[in-house]
Amino acid sequence: MATEVTVPVLGESITEATLGEWLKQPGDPVAVDEPIASLETDKVSVEVPSPVAGVMGQHAVAVGDTVQVGAMLATIDSGDGAAAAPAKTPEPAATATPAALAKDESGAGYGDQPGAGTSDSPAALSPSVRRAVLEHGVDPGTVKGTGRDGRITKEDVTAAASSKPVPAPAAAPAPTAAPAAASGRGEERVRMTRLRQTIAKRLKEAQNTAAMLTTFNDVDMTAVIEARAKYKDLFEKKHGVRLGFMGFFVKAATMALRDIPSVNASIDGDDIVYHDYADISVAVSSPGGLVVPVIRDADQMSVATIEKTIGDFGKRAKEGALKMDEMKGGTFTISNGGVFGSLMSTPIINPPQSAVLGLHRIEERPVVVNGQIVIRPMMYLALSYDHRLIDGREAVTFLVALKNAIEDPTRILIDL
């Protein structure tokens, strides 16, 4: 008897998703609640668990297909997999060679090996990982996976390729009629993920709707760097998390938002909605791109609690384990491009919010202090805001309040 697996409810107002990858192949044994597929929604990736124990049956949809909530994805057959998957002699992991992946990437032979689906077999690798294996010529059997449940990620393949010794040049083959791609001007067409499509749509919508403007300031990071160096070991020992800079900035931002409430507000039709709380969206990296989980009631948190929350978000974003509810809402966004080396940028507002703060890299520069030219670690701050709601005076006042709190962290302690 076969049990149908359908697309689960994905969240409020989300009616469809894209099948990102199959985690189980036909013939694989499946336990209750074991993930069998990964769906890409507008916000995060969602794993689909098996409702029963049994054997993976036939896939009803292919990777990349768009599926509606409630649609059938696959079937789970009763049994333990012994009858569905014919016995075979165990083969070493190295059999999953780039050549085999090339065959799989072209579509020929995909899923035609009974019992396929081990962590390093072609069928068990996601499309992006298979492409990376083909590009770098890496044997997936030699790559240690760091993803969820030990699965190989694109970053694992890249790291393995960088550590692989360069082979000696092979003897040149006899001249043949080379295809056009041999000129080194090849192209690859890859369909945008649903997350990337949503990011593109929302950012363009923000540009088309908001009267967006960016104002800049810079901040001397000396005091925060000294405080971090002095207390980082004690902080980590007591709270179990490293003391970073984001905790200071989030806390300072919540104080500035309280003083300048329009920066924490939003426009709803002809109304302005003011929030007496600060839900801070923080941009973190995930395998599919930047995602923006929300720190709820950040204004009520300590620096330690903020650092713990951000660290948890970052870890689960890399694993694709963020929940849909954690991505909703937010009254103000902080994006830290400095971790990638950005010196200055003009971040785009995350609708329906009215402002976003961009942080950048810390760079030693000459500045004048008490009439003397000194070298200080400086950072540029950028506040992009909706000029329909926020005036220039308010934007500048917000940045100055933030700057004052960072340059004198005692203000954060005494709530000044």
The residues annotated as belonging to the active site are 387, 391
Ramachandran angles phi, psi of 352, nearest 5° = -90, 15
The C-alpha R_g of the chain, in whole angstroms, comes to 26
Q: Are strands 332-336 and 280-282 parallel, antiparallel or unpaired?
A: parallel
Inter-residue contact 279 to 296 (CB < 8 Å): yes
Measured distance CA(156)–CA(132) in Å, rounded:
10
| DSSP one-letter string for 116-147 | ---TTSGGGS-HHHHHHHHHHT--GGGPPP-S
Q: Is 261 helix (H, G, I), strand (E, B) or coil?
A: helix
> Which residue has 């990071």 as its token pair?
221
**Which runs of consecutive H residues, i.e. helices, occur in 260-374?**
303-319
Q: How many CA atoms lie within 13 A of 195 on its CB side?
A: 19
List the beta bridge partners of residue 368: 373
H/E run at residue 38 = strand 35-40
Burial letters 179-213, b for 16+ CB under 10 A, else e: eeeeeeeeeeeeeebbbeebbeeeeeebeeebebe
Q: How far is CA 15 from the centre of its chain?
A: 22
CA neighbor of 251 nearest in space, from 217, 216, 282 = 282
